[in-house]
Amino acid sequence: MTYNVPDYDDLPYHEELEMRSAWGVFGDDDQIGTLNFITNECVKAAGAEVQKGKVFNLSLPLNLPDPPIFRESYKHVIYRPSRNSQDDYLDNFYMQNSTQWDSLRHIQAREFGFYNGVSEQDAGPDGDKLGIDRYVEKGIVGRGVLVDVPRYFAAKGEPYNAREETFIGPDLLDAILEHQGTRLQPGDLLLLRTGYVRAYLDASREEREGFKGRSHCAGLTASEPTARYLWNKRIAAICADNPAVEVIPGRPEDGFLHRRLIPMLGFALGELFDYEALAADCAEDRRYTCSFTGVPLYIPGGVGSPGNAVAVK
């Protein structure tokens, strides 16, 4: 389906929230937001990114982070239902504890509702709209573009720490893309590597205690120019390797990027993706694009899901 998509500054302005919204842009009943930017042509074009046949897992094991950063770990039980067979199940399994997708019912715009004006009745705990199952039905398949922040700073000979409050805004994104020789295209999936997962994997168990909660990390600047940039570039999803996509703790005057992107604009967000193997390969062949496939769990009405994503080059 073809939509007449306005630029960010032409979107309706919500006076009470002081933000622009994309409600109605993809139709009054739309439930997938910016994934609409992934057209059939985008999916076909992503196939051209497969030149070497190398596959890269982009998800952490489901038992990481351990100890957890925000939520709790699951309990994995293996049992024998009969003499010669085994089965298993998970207890206390949080959908967004490891590499994860946020559905459009994850964040609400206060009393004004969820994305596209969907009410709390329809997208709250007892509703059935905007669930992760909508992403499954659409399919998260397209051209992935890695933005490698640590390697950019290293190439410039500038200090950088993924666990410090580094603000990644439009100017820095453009500088990194230019350095990599990469251009964004409508329908792309932005794969943001801050180096947070690398720092976590390199840390001892004792050091990992310091990652809990809202500890400092590099990430996207939460102010309006970031939302404008991502919308005008027609980015379909942002998948970061940090725990929040946006910088933590951030500046109060910038606001909350999750609110700007999820309920107001309908962006698909992913967090705690593992780009280490992919990034090493991209640095080797200087090609920062790939074919990306993400398959969330098919949970009707789910608020989130494990990432279940791979890149192919």
On whether residue 228 sits in a domain, the answer given is yes
pLDDT of residue 2: 54
Given the DSSP bridges, would you call strands 237-240 and 268-271 parallel, antiparallel or unpaired?
parallel
| Distance in angstroms (rounded) separating the CA atoms of residues 71 and 64 | 11
pLDDT of residue 215: 81
On whether residue 2 sits in a domain, the answer given is no
On whether residue 171 sits in a domain, the answer given is yes
| Distance in angstroms (rounded) separating the CA atoms of residues 30 and 224 | 23
Average pLDDT value for residue range 60-77: 92
Average pLDDT value for residue range 211-225: 90
Number of domains in the chain: 1
pLDDT tens digits, residue range 135-156?
999 999 999 999 999 999 999 9
pLDDT band at 97 (very low <50, low <70, confident <90, very high): very high
On whether residue 67 sits in a domain, the answer given is yes
Average pLDDT value for residue range 24-32: 96
pLDDT band at 213 (very low <50, low <70, confident <90, very high): confident
CATH number at residue 291: 3.50.30.50
β-pair partners for 217: 248
Q: How far is CA 61 from the centre of its chain?
A: 17
Res 4 pLDDT > 90: no
On whether residue 270 sits in a domain, the answer given is yes
On whether residue 42 sits in a domain, the answer given is yes
Res 101 pLDDT > 90: yes
The domain in which residue 97 lies consists of: 8-312
Cα torsion angle, 246, 185, 39, 7, sign: positive
Average pLDDT value for residue range 197-213: 89
On whether residue 48 sits in a domain, the answer given is yes
On whether residue 1 sits in a domain, the answer given is no
Average pLDDT value for residue range 92-112: 95
